[in-house]
Chains A and B, each alone.
Chain A
Amino acid sequence: NAGVTQTPKFQVLKTGQSMTLQCAQDMNHEYMSWYRQDPGMGLRLIHYSVGAGITDQGEVPNGYNVSRSTTEDFPLRLLSAAPSQTSVYFCASTPGAGGNSPLHFGNGTRLTVT
């Protein structure tokens, strides 16, 4: 029962570097999303996907890119890291498109940008 798997668990980047946060799920969920968690701000949606080949922006998309070539994988790319992107990143998947469908979360990637 792997569920949603995120790698790496921790990452330190220098300003201007790029990297990809990996997310994979084995539940055959069509719908996936990326959130960032910052102290006192809850979770904010970065990008989401409603199926392979279909992605869209969330609340805070600037500085991030996503793609969805398969149902299982939904990587998040930081193009040129900035200190403001220091955060904990969570990938989630859900079996249904509706607002009543619960999210299944990975264990997160803690990113520090210096």
Chain B
Amino acid sequence: AQSVTQLGSHVSVSEGALVLLRCNYSSSVPPYLFWYVQYPNQGLQLLLKYTSAATLVKGINGFEAEFKKSETSFHLTKPSAHMSDAAEYFCAVSERNTGFQKLVFGTGTRLLVSP
């Protein structure tokens, strides 16, 4: 069965620093991959998704993620953190030729941004 691992339940950065949130998946074939963001007291919002086109995917708010098949990774990055980026981030994976109900979420990484 597919699974997804997010390393680090909390990541702290200073405003202006690089943001790197790690996500590794287990799947025999390249899956669909997603990053969602959850701001306090809100639902999850889609940041970006990889479905099979370019391996470097650009999302909203300056975030991007690179699909690396050899490393089974889909790490999320942003060159310069803003205070408004403080939120919880979820990586999710879905095998190809399956339905929306088969989406598997990671346990989440909370991003803390200090002035």
Contacts and interface: CB of A to CB of B under 8 A. Distances in A.
Interface of A: 4, 31, 33, 40-45, 48, 50, 56, 58, 90, 92, 94, 96-103, 105-108
Residue from A56, A101, A102 whose CB has the most chain B CB atoms within 10 Å: A102
Interface of B: 9, 31-32, 34, 36, 41-46, 49, 51, 90, 94-103, 105-108
A17 to B, nearest CB: 24
Contact of B44 (A31, A41, A90, A98): A90
A105 B90 contact: no
Contact of A107 (B41, B98, B107, B108): B41
A99 B94 contact: yes
B100 to A, nearest CB: 5
Given A4-B43, A40-B9, A42-B108, A97 B90 contact: no
B43 A98 contact: no
A5 B7 CA distance: 32
Contact of A99 (B32, B106, B107): B32
A63 B43 CA distance: 23
A78 B49 CA distance: 33
Given A99-B103, A102-B46, A107-B43, 13 more contacts: A40-B107, A42-B90, A45-B103, A90-B43, A94-B100, A98-B99, A99-B94, A99-B96, A100-B32, A100-B51, A100-B96, A103-B44, A103-B46
A102 B96 contact: no
A96 B98 CA distance: 12
A41 B100 contact: no
Given A99-B96, A99-B98, A100-B49, A106 B43 contact: yes
A113 B57 CA distance: 41
B99 A97 contact: yes
Contacts of B106: 42
5 cross-chain pairs, A with B, having the tightest CB-CB distances, nearest first? A105-B43, A99-B94, A42-B105, A43-B105, A48-B101
